[in-house]
Amino acid sequence: MMPASVSIEVASAADVASLTPIAEECGLFVDFPAELLRSYARLLVARAGQEICGFLLAWRAADELHLTDLGVRGESRRHGIGRALVSELCREGRLGGARLVLLEVRDSNEPARALYRSLQFTEQGRRAHYYADTDEDAVVMQLELR
């Protein structure tokens, strides 16, 4: 369960300096200023007080949401932050008429896969050699919103 002191909010340009180190810690490469300018991008942050402890980036295409990146600071993991971010994306997606949420996750990232399964995402297949840095396969997962 997420601590009561954590809120999920839409990111702003003022958050970029805090988001970049989180992405780097998680091995993610996100151009946050560019994402904030994309009309189809949704960038959410998890904030504990004034400190950002996690983020989620998703793109909307027609009636689908593609969760592209999810990152949580190491010391904030296993406290419901990732779950809260994904749950908020799904809530917003349902309200906005999205039909499903799609994502790719590293085959070796069992903690993330377990999180998504616990949120009722199902594995749909694989993308061979998807991750260029390790040549690892991606597991494609989806959640039907309606």
Site of tokens 């300018």? 37
pLDDT in tens, 98-139: 999 999 999 999 999 999 999 999 999 999 988 888 889 999
Using CA atoms, how far residue 103 sits from 44, 58, 78, 85, 120, in Å, is 16, 9, 20, 14, 13
Using CA atoms, how far residue 132 sits from 26, 136, 138, 141, in Å, is 16, 7, 11, 19
Query: Does the pLDDT of residue 88 top 80, yes or no?
Result: yes
pLDDT for res 146: 83
CA-CA distance, 15 to 111, in Å (whole number)? Answer: 26
User: What are φ and ψ of residue 118, in 5° steps?
Assistant: -65, -20
> CB of 45 within 8 A of CB of 9?
yes
Site of tokens 């593609």? 66
pLDDT for res 133: 85
3 state SS of 69: strand
pLDDT in tens, 93-104: 999 999 999 999
Domains of the chain (ranges; CATH) run 6-104 (3.40.630.30)
Query: Does the pLDDT of residue 3 top 70, yes or no?
Result: no
Q: What is the pTM of this model?
A: 0.93
Is residue 5 very low, low, confident or very high in pLDDT (cuts 50, 70, 90)?
Answer: confident
> CB of 26 within 8 A of CB of 72?
yes
pLDDT for res 2: 52
Mean pLDDT of 1-8: 74
CA atoms within 13 A on the CB side of 70: 24
